[in-house]
Structure 1
Amino acid sequence: MRIDVYLAAAGYTQSRKKAQDLIEAGAVKLDGVTVKKPSVTVNEAIEHKIEIEQVFRYVSRGGMKLEAALDAFKISVNRKKAVDVGASTGGFTDCLLQRGAARVIAVDAGVGQMHESLRSDKRVKTVEHFNARELDTEITEGPCDVAVADVSFISQTYIIPQIASVLDSGGVFISLIKPQFEAGRSALGKNGVVTNSAYRFLAAKRVIECACENGFDCTGFIRSPIEGGDGNKEYLACFVKRVCVRPTVDDKQIKYITAL
């Protein structure tokens, strides 16, 4: 049995996804040895010593990514209403709540992924089995102050127009940019990792240009402190729905960061 499956089945973690996150963070030891991959096989017939270091302040490591963005871009979400697109387990939602958000509309295409502690939180509205391309102010209960997005298997360019439509003027949008879903199949190397910095640059630029075409100004861009589970480098961009904000990010800055 795979160790990520074993940890969840034996009750060491709340879910297989949580087990994978902990393993990727180097927080799991099997018989005294740090587990490197979720695919490591465990013999169920033998008693094992499992050690888990609880390293996350949030229900998933996604919260750490958003935390880095909020700090780097100096964004306050206190008493704000936010929409979390691609909420999944709820790492971004958890971070928003811990930072004082008054309300979070958490939307996701999946079902049953949201952590129970968030599902039962009265500040959270969970919208499951939902196509983000259908997002509107009816779903978000009126305009939002903040939007965050972490989506997979789809380019954010397909949902940015809808995100713009539910944000108030001056609202903030923080995007987790994943080059493997923006650059196209030809950009993928071994194991689906985008190793060429030129492709990473083009992927990030594609998202940023789309946002700017839909009424946003890009005011910040950083590399995520945590890589994707597959080893892909990821990036966080900050956008403000245009009022009179002056853009502060240019191609030179994007190219420098994506080359690191």
Structure 2
Amino acid sequence: MSQKERIDKLLLARGFADSRAKAQALVMAGVVLVGEKRVDKASETFAADAVIRIKGDSPETKYVGRGGLKLERALADFDIDPSGYNCLDVGSSTGGFTDCLLQHGAVSVVAVDAGTNQLVWRLRTDERVDVRENTNARELKPDDFTAPFDLIVMDVSFISATKILAALVPLLTPTSLRMPTPETMLAQLWLRASTTILTAA
């Protein structure tokens, strides 16, 4: 029998909330469903692999992490439609960016992170997602992948993005750079958003 956990802990572990308090707030709002049955108490326990769904389209619950909202805004600002794209998510963490890309039509996402066991289960088991954990993004090479990427997104906190960029440029499709040099491209992107995005022209 699967070990049971409190629903607020499960919500936090799967990325539906970024704190126990927010997980409990979701339960109190009556939007947490397990097996299509509403959960009324944050202390209720369920199997670790229980099917959990958040009903409604609140911005806070649209993606598995709030990073998804940040990327959604960046995609709109840059006028980027990832539909049909093969994407790379560097610093994937719980998967907010990955979730956003998939919901906007990306056909595949390689989720790279230096850590482990952070990507939420729903994305980890999605056949469109290739999970690459314990991976140093600075060591990525084109031969590590079956095809170049149309779009690369990055959200890193423990290392400067400039130290990773040089390794990412060769991973893009030949016609993907919008600007003549990586340095110019990065400078322009930082002026327009807090997220670094490389994309197809």
Contact 1:105 1:125 survives alignment (8 Å): yes
- CA drift of 1:77 comes to 0.7
Decide which of 2, 8, 15 is 2:12's aligned counterpart. 15
Tell me which amino acid in the other structure corresponds to 2:11: Q
- CA deviations on 1:198-239 (whole Å, 9 max, x unpaired) are xxxxxxxxxxxx9326x768367445xxxxxxxxxxx13444
- CA drift of 1:88 comes to 1.1
Decide which of 141, 144, 150 is 1:145's aligned counterpart. 150
SS in structure 2 of the partner of residue 76 of structure 1: coil
Give the distance between the partners of 1:171 and 1:89, measured in 2 at CA: 27
Give the distance between the partners of 2:84 and 2:168, measured in 1 at CA: 20
Decide which of 229, 236, 240 is 2:195's aligned counterpart. 236
Contact 1:73 1:220 survives alignment (8 Å): no
Corresponding residue number in structure 1 for 2:188: 218
Give the distance between the partners of 2:154 and 2:198, measured in 1 at CA: 12
Give the distance between the partners of 2:102 and 2:177, measured in 1 at CA: 16
Q: CA RMSD in A?
A: 3.5
Give the distance between the partners of 1:220 and 1:158, measured in 2 at CA: 15
Corresponding residue number in structure 2 for 1:38: none
Corresponding residue number in structure 2 for 1:232: none
Corresponding residue number in structure 2 for 1:186: none
Aligned pairs, number: 170
TM-score by length of 2: 0.69
Determine which structure has more spread, i.e. the larger CA radius of gyration.
1
Give the distance between the partners of 2:157 and 2:79, measured in 1 at CA: 26
Identity of aligned residues (%): 38
Contact 1:88 1:114 survives alignment (8 Å): yes
Cα gap change, 1:137/1:76 in structure 2, threshold over 3 Å: closer, same or farther?
same
Q: List aligned pairs for 1:41-190, cutoff 5 A.
A: 50=42, 55-171=60-176
Give the distance between the partners of 1:17 and 1:122, measured in 2 at CA: 17
TM-score by length of 1: 0.55
Give the distance between the partners of 1:131 and 1:217, measured in 2 at CA: 23
Give the distance between the partners of 2:177 and 2:82, measured in 1 at CA: 9
Cα gap change, 1:169/1:121 in structure 2, threshold over 3 Å: closer, same or farther?
same
Tell me which amino acid in the other structure corresponds to 1:118: L
Larger RCO, structures 1/2 (Cα 8 Å, 6+ apart): 2
Tell me which amino acid in the other structure corresponds to 2:147: G
- CA drift of 1:159 comes to 0.7
Give the distance between the partners of 1:96 and 1:29, measured in 2 at CA: 27
